[in-house]
Structure formats: structure tokens, C-alpha cells
Amino acid sequence: MPGREDPRLVHEVELTPAFHDLDPMDVVWHGRYVQYLEIARCALLQKFDYDYPQMRDSGYAWPVVDLQIKYVGAIEYGMKLRVRAAITEWENRLRIDYQIRDAATDKVITKAHTTQVAVRWESRELQFVCPPVLWERLGVTR
């Protein structure tokens, strides 16, 4: 059911920030956090064989229309991270909730969510209901 977390719709990746991710204060630059979310989102969608190339092949683009992010703590160079992505809405839009955690302490560093909408690839027409292909790939119902 949209709005509730289904364990089948969750995926987690591990990563370690690179030196080039740092800002002059020797912590990960805030813009890189969004890149980490994207890595987790793509891994989650790949789990359902509905990553961006498959979305395009199915006739839809899925642009991010909203991103909300709360920086709870700082990420430092070499810190091992767990980035969790969970699909929490899929009826009229695709919402994915995220958490970035310190893998060593399990402390939450960042919370975020993205909202994506279906746009018909050929006509660039916004869809007000997610197309059935999304539900089929995710194995969910309305």
C-alpha cells in the first residue's frame, strides 16, 4: 500500500567517500550526498529491472521533481557508509525515502526523499497516474 514501507521495495548499498568528494573543510561536500542517493536509487531500481534504460525502453522518463534532504551529521573521508533507499509511494508518483548511515556506528547522517513522475517519452506528456509497467515491475497493486 502506498505510504507504507514494504521490505521487498528496499535496497541498501555500501560506499566509501573518495578524496575528491571533500570540501575545503575536509568533510564531504553537501552536493555529493545527492550523488550517493542516486547510487542507491539506481541499485534499488535495478533490483526490479526498471532502472533508467528500462524506463526509457518502456516509453517513460521519470524525472526527479522534488528532493528534500536533511543533513543530520557530516561525512568524513574514508567513512564507511550504508545508503538505504525505499520505495514508499507508487500510485500517482514514485517516492523514494533514503537514509545515509555510518556503517560503523549505525548513526543516521542524512535523511532524504525524492519524488519522480512519469512522463511519456515520445510526447513529453506528464502522467497523473503511474503507468502499469511500474506496478508490474515492482510486483505491487493499486
Q: Where are the domains of the chain?
A: 7-138
CB 129 within 8 A of CB 91: yes
pLDDT score of 4 more than 70: no
Using the Cα atoms of residue 8, residue 89, residue 97 and residue 122 in order, give the sign of their dihedral: positive
CB 75 within 8 A of CB 31: no
Give the whole-number percent of the chain exceeding pLDDT 90.
88
Give the whole-number percent of the chain exceeding pLDDT 70.
96
Spell out a b/e string for 110-136, using b for 16 or more CB atoms within 10 Å of the CB, else e. Answer: bebbbebbbbeeeeeeeeeebeebbee
What number of CA atoms fall less than 13 Å from residue 40's CA on the CB side? 30
CB 3 within 8 A of CB 88: yes
Mean pLDDT, the chain, rounded, equals 93
pLDDT, residue 118, reads 97
CB 100 within 8 A of CB 119: no
Distance CA 54, CA 56 (A): 5
> Which single residue is written with the C-alpha cell 560503523?
104
In the chain, helix, strand, coil percent, each to 5?
Answer: 25, 35, 40
69: cell is 534532504
pLDDT score of 2 more than 90: no
pLDDT, residue 24, reads 87
pLDDT score of 1 more than 90: no
pLDDT, residue 26, reads 87
CATH number 3.90.76.10 is the correct assignment for the domain at 7-138: no
pLDDT, residue 25, reads 86
Question: Residues 101-119: pLDDT tens digits?
Answer: 999 999 999 999 999 999 9
pLDDT, residue 5, reads 76
Question: Residues 44-89: pLDDT tens digits?
Answer: 999 999 999 999 999 999 999 999 999 999 999 999 999 999 999 9
pTM: 0.92
